[in-house]
Chain A
Amino acid sequence: MSARIQQIHHMGLWVCIVVGVIVFGAMFYTMFAHRRSRHPVPATFSHSTLVEIVWTTIPVLILVGMAIPAAIALREIENNEDSDITVVITASQWKWHYRYLETDISYYSNIATPDEQIYNLEPKDEHYLLDADNPLVLPTNKKIRFLVTSDDVIHSWWVPDFAVKQDAIPGFINEAWAIVPTPGTYRGQCTELCGQGHGFMPIVVEVRPEAEFDQWIEDQRIAAELAGGAAVAARAKTWTMDELMPIGQETFLKHCATCHERDGMGQGTKYPALSGSAIATGEMADHLERVMNGVADTEMQAWAPQLSDLEIAAVITYERNSWANSTGDIIQPITVYKAR
């Protein structure tokens, strides 16, 4: 479809170039030939019905000529029927969640570009800002239907090579589709202003031949089972501070530091500091409640559905024992599990 759209783009561009050359040509000619030094006595005509009819009619014909192919292409683009695979894309600040409707595999996809590159402390790599931790994986030559929605504000899912740009709107489920003939990695970005992380919401799609895609689905299924087993094991174990802190730091940097900052100092009142905060140094139960359920109608989202018991336990432990905070508190994954 993107090739068709490119044709329409070229059609529009060439019409504009040709009309532009004619109109600007006429302007430059008259500016040259009819300037006072060459043309001291101005003509006196001030209307011509025939000419005016002609230059009203010709643009209408050109426009009709452009509208017809555009309308035909549009009808094909909006035909979402007969899809082979459906992916539900749920946007939230500032990440994507992908769910394969048929196989019920689902995961979050976050930006993978480290802060050090964004803040110019490290050289920027080739896919700066366009790298995701968990890319969307799709098979070649299948009609893939995307169902796009949002959990909070409006986002927009755009992969230029697929010619798919669909707004993710809370309360709405929008449709789009793509068939990708060539395997490879395709990249895009969020294209609707969605808050401070708007520029940091990349989309990465890996398109694989069908057999490889099926294998990947199988791998994901097994990985999900293993993760379930690991979660049970994590709950059974009693963790020490030294074990939790590095996991907590990793989780914090990935999910929390965008707003609360690496040094825990936050950004003003909107994104409060955690260092020395009443919640991160007060009652453990309040801290757990805040992390799991978030604060309604703010960017502080509920993390319970997004993070594992271990990650939540680790990040809370990290927050209570970093920067100016030294409560010495440890929370165990089993406590998080019980609070769910």
Chain B
Amino acid sequence: MVAHAETAHTNRHPLIAFASRWLFTTNHKEIGSLYLWLSLTLFFIAGGMAMVIRLELFEPGIQFVEPEFYNQVLTLHGLIMVFGAVMPAFVGLANWLIPMMIGAPDMALPRMNNFSFWILPFAFTMLLSSLFMEGGAPNFGWTFYAPLSTTYGPPSTDFFILGVHLMGISSIMGAINIIVTIVNLRAPGMTYMRMPMFVWTWFITAFLLIMVMPVLAGVVTMMLTDRHFGTSFFEASGGGDPVMFQHIFWFFGHPEVYIMILPGFGIASQIIPTFSRKKLFGYSSMVWASASIAFLSFIVWGHHMFTTGMPVATELFFMFATMLIAVPTGVKVFNWVATMWRGSITFETPMLFSIGFVMMFTIGGFSGLMLALVPADFQYHDTFFVVAHFHYVLYPGAIFGTMAAVYYWLPKWCGHMYDERLGKIHFWTATFAVNLTFFPMHFTGLAGMPRRIPDYSLQFADFNMVSSVGAGLLGLTQVLFLYIVIKTIRGGVKATDQVWEGAVGLEWTIPSPAPHHTFETPPEIVEGRAY
């Protein structure tokens, strides 16, 4: 990447120069790279934890880890994937791309941008350090239901609480920055309805973040006071209410799952038109569908709690509201298909990942619709069917979306084309492995296997073995991804400015690799749409 001009004239030790360059950088491209590398690192750490889980579940019986440690690994896998792998990856992409897409010189608040990144390594160091503490790491699942996490939580729970606070502060600052940038720094002529879909989906996501991260902060603060200051928010024996915990948590938690998918929608909406050589179908309905999904995400949290003893009327409300989400989501899927329809399609790696995203995300959407039906949910709830559902939404959704984006924009970032043959191998093995891992979980769940158990009865043995084999392969394919990314950064065929012949948008008008500073004078958007 581009050398920092300001540091060149000083005589500092190269290591100090390197450290201070990355520590103090306020450049959106450098901060974007920092976010992406942090995300990839944590993706491998949390992925390693998934390997531990699948190793233990390879066969019935306890073979490798004790149930107590299994629960700790399970908890950290979920927390780190959600807060450490997916969210920073999307913020990293936002940093790199939003200013380039709207013709802005940088993010609106560069110092806050630096701060919101540099909080994160400390937050995750704190969370991971709990593994080495007396009493072990948090062991109550990423949903940390009270009272298992409050009264019964290990001492390290306090480190978890403060870690979550730091992640929340980082996310809120990142979201403020994105909103302020989009509202204020669009180039002349870049009206809201001309913004690329990736910018739109992130704009909506940023509002979701600002609205729900404080709720998460609230719930962990209530945990902290329950644990140490004698309050009884969630303690039944003190007049508190453990179910209230779940209401507050899922009021954060449900919008959170859309935070993890909306930018992926935006990425697919950028890539599919490029390789179909055709405009995105139904731009304005895509915008409205994204906004509707975001709105609905606030009124469906109760569908995570159907077995907690809700009144019938409440169950019906949450069932109907949840089913309604299928409508705007359906519109998005139909629009992507219509974008491809009668286009002139080629299948480069980013396109393959985008198509894989659309198809497998739709499978996750289908099981989501089934889960919305309350009577059936009584049977599915907290089984491996749910594990299959959300991994289908998140792996081909958030992770494939991010990988599609990396393949698509990496030539713009570093000036080299990635190895197309390796990229395709990566896609096909990853797709095979994702399905091998997660599809059998539908069957084990429907057959009655509860989630979050370290050992299972014999009738689940075969499908669990298949899942574990798939997971091992899936882990290996991501090592290939790391290799491809490093290889591309170090060298390769020189990328043109346009990179992809069908690509439209301001980021393709600047040189590859993108110079350190871009759009110092704003471009003029006179006609046509920028996406």
The residues of A with any CB-CB pair to B shorter than 8 Å are 2, 4-5, 8-9, 12-13, 15-16, 19-20, 23-24, 26-27, 30-31, 34-36, 39-48, 51-52, 55-56, 59-60, 63, 66-67, 70-71, 73-75, 77-78, 117-120, 124, 126-130, 152-154, 156, 158, 160, 163-167, 169-172, 174-175, 188-200, 267-271, 297-299
- The answer to whether B374 and A74 have CB atoms under 8 Å apart is yes
Q: How far is the CB of B336 from chain A (nearest CB, A)?
A: 9
B309 touches which of A31, A77, A167, A297 (Cβ 8 Å): A167
B67 touches which of A24, A127, A199 (Cβ 8 Å): A199
Interface residues of B in 339-371 (CB under 8 A from A): 340-347, 355, 358-359, 362-363, 366-367, 369-370
Q: How far is the CB of B285 from chain A (nearest CB, A)?
A: 5
Residue of B nearest to A194 (CB): B148
On chain A, the residues within 8 Å of B334 by CB distance are 23, 55
Interface residues of B in 66-90 (CB under 8 A from A): 66-68, 71
A127 to B448, CA, bound (A): 14
A340 to B430, CA, bound (A): 62
Q: A9-B379, A35-B347, A128-B458 are in contact. Are A26 and B369 (CB under 8 A)?
A: no
Residue of B nearest to A175 (CB): B309
B373 touches which of A12, A27, A158 (Cβ 8 Å): A12
The residues of B with any CB-CB pair to A shorter than 8 Å are 60-63, 66-68, 71, 134-136, 139-141, 145, 147-148, 151-152, 154, 236-237, 240-243, 276-285, 307-309, 312, 315-316, 319-320, 323-324, 326-327, 330-331, 333-334, 337-338, 340-347, 355, 358-359, 362-363, 366-367, 369-370, 373-376, 378-379, 381-383, 448, 450-458
A31 touches which of B145, B237, B355, B382 (Cβ 8 Å): B355
23 A-B pairs (CB sep. < 8 Å): A5-B375, A12-B370, A34-B344, A36-B345, A42-B278, A47-B282, A74-B315, A77-B375, A78-B312, A118-B62, A127-B457, A169-B243, A169-B309, A171-B237, A175-B309, A191-B381, A196-B68, A197-B67, A198-B452, A198-B453, A199-B452, A267-B66, A269-B134
- The answer to whether A152 and B152 have CB atoms under 8 Å apart is yes
A280 to B79, CA, bound (A): 39
- The answer to whether A193 and B71 have CB atoms under 8 Å apart is yes
- The answer to whether B147 and A12 have CB atoms under 8 Å apart is no
Q: How far is the CB of B135 from chain A (nearest CB, A)?
A: 5
On chain B, the residues within 8 Å of A8 by CB distance are 373, 375-376
A298 to B453, CA, bound (A): 21
The 7 closest A-B CB pairs, nearest first, are A171-B236, A199-B453, A174-B309, A16-B366, A46-B279, A43-B342, A12-B370
Q: How far is the CB of B92 from chain A (nearest CB, A)?
A: 29
- The answer to whether A46 and B309 have CB atoms under 8 Å apart is no
B379 touches which of A5, A167, A195, A270 (Cβ 8 Å): A5
- The answer to whether A5 and B378 have CB atoms under 8 Å apart is yes
On chain A, the residues within 8 Å of B340 by CB distance are 27, 30-31, 34
Q: A267-B68, A269-B134 are in contact. Are A124 and B307 (CB under 8 A)?
A: no
- The answer to whether A160 and B448 have CB atoms under 8 Å apart is yes
On chain A, the residues within 8 Å of B241 by CB distance are 171
On chain B, the residues within 8 Å of A31 by CB distance are 340, 345, 347, 355
Q: How far is the CB of A157 from chain B (nearest CB, A)?
A: 10
A160 to B381, CA, bound (A): 11
- The answer to whether B281 and A47 have CB atoms under 8 Å apart is yes
On chain A, the residues within 8 Å of B341 by CB distance are 26, 30, 34, 43
Interface centre among B240, B320, B453 (most CB of A within 10 A): B453
A117 touches which of B61, B309, B315 (Cβ 8 Å): B61
